[in-house]
Chains A and B, each alone.
Chain A
């Protein structure tokens, strides 16, 4: 028996945040899973971690991204996944901002041969990269603050069913169903 649930714009915003951040993480991590050597190189390009940490972090990062992406896309443990995603983005922002300030080229690889011009072009990308990561961090932050989203495993698994859900004689009052979802969803976080 389906229950009519009233959805606010915040619900849809949350769903968008979940899907955007989740899909970006899934794709980013998934692509790196096929080549962990490249992931290690990417971490080394930031020149921020001690050499011995770059290998384990380079290996862990793709797995972490895929796991977070799965949680977000399915809407499970949304508050924590959102928070973790936001923190990850903040780490990237710090890395890129630092490289920008130091005039580094975040590139562990072959120069394309363009010399100084190529370095300038790489550095010109940084503000765009930072803006993108700020947007993604905000998605995560939104979810950490307001984890309730439609079409989520959280709602399906942690909703406390009561008779009210199945009473057809409702009249104009639909609030109890909402309150239930909210209570049980926040309770479950």
Chain B
């Protein structure tokens, strides 16, 4: 019957169109997916490679002369500690606000104890805050501080950096400037002339980078992932509250281990 034949033709045509459309769509989606995947892979590869380029291959001669034997930190007052003095490990990040609070409120007490030889103080500088704040200030401050060890002023450099921490830390802001770290602070501490040139060469070539990578890695292996973390020997001072613990309480916590 003619109407049925006409119907049939129409249906066949509709079928053909639908199949053509589907073929076109498959191709379109296939190509789009491939392009997106390619873009993601390229962006990922670019980011991975550019992060590897920051490793500096320059010879790191005499970096951190007062580092510990296994290079996981820097000894604050080398040679002062009495025999069998407890070892206090301070894990810190220069952009960590509570580390600043700790340094301000309890740092002097720890310094006294370290200089008197009651304890041995070891600083472990971590740099993960760079990731959280999207800058490089933690790393650069740590590099500057480590370079200051070669000039024999590490403890003062350490506390001076913290006293320059900005009250508000904005993600994406520069944090500590190069000028502050390589010029202002060392000059303030009496590093001038040839010593300043040596210090700045150390800073500009990022000589301590490998050392710092090791410090971060060993902090991770010691299961420290947040700062400030204070350990006496192997034990974390878990009751310590940098904002409320008094210097006297802190002293007791440290001596009792």
Q: Which residues in A have some Cβ–Cβ distance to B below 8 Å?
A: 1, 35-41, 44-45, 47, 51, 54-56, 59-60, 63, 66-67, 70, 76, 104-105, 107-116, 119, 153, 156-157, 159, 161-163, 165-167
Contact = CB atoms under 8 A, between A and B. Distances in A.
Q: Which of A45, A111, A112, A162 has the most CB of B within 10 A?
A: A111
Q: Which of B48, B96, B132 has the most CB of A within 10 A?
A: B132
Question: A interface, by DSSP: helix, strand, loop or mixed?
Answer: helix
B98 A110 contact: yes
A1 B130 CA distance: 57
Q: How large is the interface on B (under 10, 10 to 19, 20 to 34, 35 or more residues)?
A: 35 or more
B226 A109 contact: yes
B129 interface: yes
Contacts of B134: 35, 37-38
Q: Which of A66, A109, A153 has the most CB of B within 10 A?
A: A109
14 contacts: A36-B51, A37-B131, A38-B132, A38-B134, A41-B132, A60-B44, A70-B36, A110-B132, A111-B227, A113-B97, A116-B238, A116-B239, A157-B22, A166-B14
Contact of B225 (A35, A59, A107, A157): A107
A153 B128 CA distance: 41
A44 B128 contact: yes
A2 to B, nearest CB: 11
A165 B18 contact: yes
A156 B130 contact: no
A80 to B, nearest CB: 13
Interface stretch (B58-66, B113-121, B177-185, B240-248): B240-248
